[in-house]
Structures are given as structure tokens and as C-alpha cells.
């Protein structure tokens, strides 16, 4: 049991934070009431500097890759990172990123309009290059670019790794992205309740606010550790538990974050919605918390 990042991972995190702190990843409103802002510049910087290859590096590995996803997802701009950091390195083929993942219906796929490749999960995991012609951008209330993918138009190749392993890795990736989004939301609300004065004192000095945010922090911190553990062990039970626990925590937390941000959080001029609406979509991924947790139960205790 050794729960600290190693020296290489610490250097990796510090370099990453420098990139994430750049102006290109800051919040700015999007024209026409846009709900998401793809971080094109951040995406390019991270790619050029090889950040998405972390899982392939022996001293960094999936732990650093999961941490990468959590930190990127905590920024107001959105960048496709979960599949790039955790799924692509698992494959025996060299696919370009951004990478979309069909893990449910092909008509609403996150990042499809930005992606240059696609992975189709299921009993027979496959991958293909994704030309623009195969994507129809879609409308959504969630803060991600989404689109429909014409699966019949693509040249699919089967993936070599065991489907259960691919799925487990994707569960970790989704959990990491969700924990990141919730972390970004919590940070933004904490800043608000420390500063915002009502009744002559900061909102964050009221126990009614403190106790709920503290309870949320417990859930979030534990979800973060579950992500790191699942990334490190590669266990299918650990992966299911990480996703189910994060998805369960998200519901209550999203409610609290909006409550404490009040009317400001209802505007598109404040970044909170970017985090909470990503979290709302991620908490339903792969069937939501009940599917993930029942899968854990099957895995751990057997089917009946």
C-alpha cells in the first residue's frame, strides 16, 4: 500500500497543471447561448506534449492517465480526454484522437463532431476512423458536443483485448471524467460561498451550507481514490465500483452545487453549468449507477 504519486507522476501532474492554468482553458461564454466550449488550443497543447501517452509509459501508467482525465475534466473548457488517455493506449492499433466512444446508442455520441476515430464497445469491441461525413452533429442540453454516427458507413476493425478488460477500462475513464467534472463544480461553488455575503456574512459560514458541502467532499474524495485504485489494479470489480460510486455521488452533489450557486448558476455566464451538465450526462453512462453497482455485485458475490 503506497498511495502517493511517484516522482515521475508528480512531475507529470505539475506540468499538466501549468498547461491547464493557461488562458486557453479558462471560462468564456459562447455565442448563441452555447452550452459547451471545445478547448481546441488546450487539446492541441496536450497532444503535442504527449500527455495522452501517459498510460503507455511504465513510470506513469494508467494512474497518471486517470489523474490527467480528472484534472482536464475539472476545467470549464471541454476536451476529449477519457478515451484518449485510457482506452487508446490499450489498443494494438494506432488511432488518431480525439476519439469518440459508442457505449450506448449511436445516435447520441459524445465528442462525435470533434472526433477523428471511434470505438464501439459491446460484446465485440471495434474501432474505426471517423470521417466528418459519417457524423451528424446533434443538439443537446448537456455540455458536450454530441453527434449521431452512421455506423454502417465505417470500416470497423475488431479490437484484440478482452472485451471485459476494455469495458472495465472505459468504466474507469468515465468515472475519472465524472469525478473531474464534479471537482470543477465543487471548486467553483466553494469560491462562490467563500465570497458571497448574505445576512452580513459569507454564505459558506452557515452550517446548513457547510455540512452539505462537507458531505459532498467525502463522497468526491472517496470516488477519486476509487478511480485511482481501479486504474492501478485493472480489476473489473474495482472499475464497476468506481463508476457506480461516482455516479451515485453525483446526483446529490449536482443538486447541492446548484442550490448554493443560486440564480447565478442558472446563467450561461457562470461556468457551473458546464460541470453539472457534463456530470448529469456522465452519471447515466453505461446504464447509470444501478447497472455499475449490480455488475459489481455479480462480480463479487456471484449471480444469485
Partner 1 sequence: MEFAWTEQDRTHRARIRALLASALPADWQVIARHGPGSREQTLFSLSFCPQLAEAGLLVPHWPREWGGQGGTVWEHFILGEEMWAAGEPRGPQYMNVNWIGPVLMQFGSEAQKARYLPPMAQGRAIWCQGFSEPGAGSDLGSLRTRADRDGDTYVLNGQKIWTSYAGMAETCFLLVRIGGEKAGKAGIAVFLVPMDSPGIEVRAIPSLIGHGDIHEVFFTDVRVPASARLGEPGQGWTIISAALANERVGIPRYALARQVLDDMVGLLQARAGFADPVVRLRAAEAAAACDAARLLVYAVIDARARGIAAEASTARLAVIAADNAVNDFGMEFLPECYHGDGHPALLAHHERAIVTGIAAGAAEIQLNLVAQRRLALPKGA
Please answer whether residues 115 and 132 qualify as being in contact, where contact means their C-beta atoms are separated by less than 8 angstroms: no
Q: Which is nearer to partner 1, 77 or 231 (CB)?
A: 231
The CA distance from 120 to 89, in Å, is 16
The strand pairing partners of 118, in sequence order, are 100, 128
d(CA 293, CA 271): 31
Compute the least distance from the CB of residue 6 to partner 1, in Å: 7
Question: 152 or 302, CB closer to partner 1?
Answer: 302
Q: Rule CB under 8 A: say whether 7 interacts with partner 1.
A: no
- Asked if 57 touches partner 1 (CB under 8 A), the answer is no
The CA-CA-CA angle for residues 186, 85, 11, to 5°, reads: 75
What minimum distance in Å lies between the beta carbon of 251 and partner 1? 12
Among 47, 140, 232, 284, binds partner 1 (CB under 8 A): 232
- ∠ CA 144-146-147, nearest 5°, is 170
Residue 230 near residue 242 (C-beta atoms within 8 A): yes
Instruction: Based on the shown chain and the rule CB under 8 A, indicate whether residue 6 belongs to the binding site for partner 1.
Output: yes
According to the binding rule CB under 8 A, does residue 184 interact with partner 1?
A: no
Residue closer to partner 1 (CB basis): 24 or 291: 291
Out of 241, 250, 261, 272, the only residue in the binding site for partner 1 (CB under 8 A) is 241
CA–CA separation, 260 and 205 (whole Å): 12
Least spacing, CB of residue 214 vs partner 1, in Å? 4
Candidates 16, 42, 46, 63; binder of partner 1 (CB under 8 A) is: 63
Whole-angstrom Cα distance, residue 195 to residue 84? Answer: 37
For partner 1, the closer CB: 9 or 117: 9
- In the list 228, 253, 272, 286, the residue contacting partner 1 (rule: CB under 8 A) is 228
Nearer to partner 1, 17 or 187 (CB): 187
Three-point CA angle 300, 103, 173, nearest 5°: 65
CB-CB contact of 279 with 254 (8 Å): yes
Residue 113 burial (CB count, 10 A)? 20
C-alpha cell at 114: 470533434
- Compute the least distance from the CB of residue 216 to partner 1, in Å: 9
DSSP letter assigned to residue 58: T
Task: Choose between 100 and 226: whose C-beta lies nearer to partner 1.
Answer: 226
Residues that bind partner 1 (CB under 8 A): 1-6, 9, 63, 190, 193-194, 201-202, 204-207, 209-211, 213-215, 217-219, 221-223, 225-226, 228-229, 232-233, 241, 244-245, 248, 290, 293-294, 296-298, 300-302, 304
Amino acid at each position: 500500500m503506497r498511495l502517493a504519486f511517484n516522482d515521475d507522476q508528480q512531475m507529470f501532474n505539475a506540468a499538466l497543471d501549468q498547461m491547464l492554468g493557461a488562458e486557453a482553458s479558462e471560462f468564456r461564454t459562447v455565442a448563441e447561448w452555447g452550452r459547451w466550449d471545445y478547448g481546441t488550443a488546450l487539446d492541441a497543447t496536450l497532444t503535442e506534449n504527449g500527455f495522452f501517452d501517459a498510460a503507455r509509459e511504465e513510470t506513469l501508467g494508467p494512474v497518471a492517465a486517470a489523474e490527467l482525465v480528472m484534472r482536464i475534466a475539472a476545467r470549464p473548457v471541454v476536451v476529449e480526454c477519457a478515451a484518449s488517455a485510457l482506452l487508446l493506449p490499450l489498443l494494438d492499433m494506432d488511432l488518431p484522437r480525439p476519439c469518440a466512444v459508442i457505449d450506448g446508442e449511436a445516435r447520441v455520441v459524445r465528442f462525435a463532431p470533434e472526433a477523428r476515430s471511434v470505438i464501439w464497445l459491446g460484446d465485440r469491441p471495434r474501432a474505426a476512423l471517423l470521417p466528418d461525413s459519417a457524423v451528424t452533429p446533434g443538439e443537446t442540453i448537456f455540455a458536450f458536443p454530441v453527434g449521431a454516427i452512421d455506423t454502417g458507413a465505417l470500416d470497423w476493425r475488431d479490437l484484440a483485448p478482452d472485451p471485459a478488460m476494455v469495458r472495465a477500462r472505459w468504466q474507469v475513464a468515465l468515472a475519472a471524467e465524472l469525478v473531474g467534472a464534479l471537482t470543477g463544480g465543487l471548486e467553483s461553488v466553494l469560491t462562490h460561498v467563500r465570497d458571497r455575503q448574505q445576512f452580513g456574512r459569507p454564505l459558506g459560514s452557515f452550517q446548513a451550507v457547510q455540512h452539505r458541502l462537507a458531505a459532498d467532499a467525502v463522497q468526491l474524495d472517496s470516488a477519486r481514490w476509487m478511480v485511482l485504485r481501479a486504474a492501478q489494479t485493472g480489476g473489473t470489480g474495482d472499475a464497476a465500483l468506481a463508476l457506480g460510486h461516482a455516479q451515485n455521488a453525483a446526483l446529490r452533489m449536482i443538486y447541492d452545487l446548484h442550490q448554493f450557486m443560486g440564480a447565478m448558476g442558472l446563467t450561461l455566464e457562470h461556468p457551473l453549468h458546464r460541470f453539472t451538465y457534463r456530470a448529469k450526462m456522465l452519471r447515466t453512462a453505461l446504464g447509470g449507477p444501478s447497472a455499475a453497482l449490480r455488475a459489481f455485485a455479480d462480480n463479487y458475490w456471484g449471480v444469485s
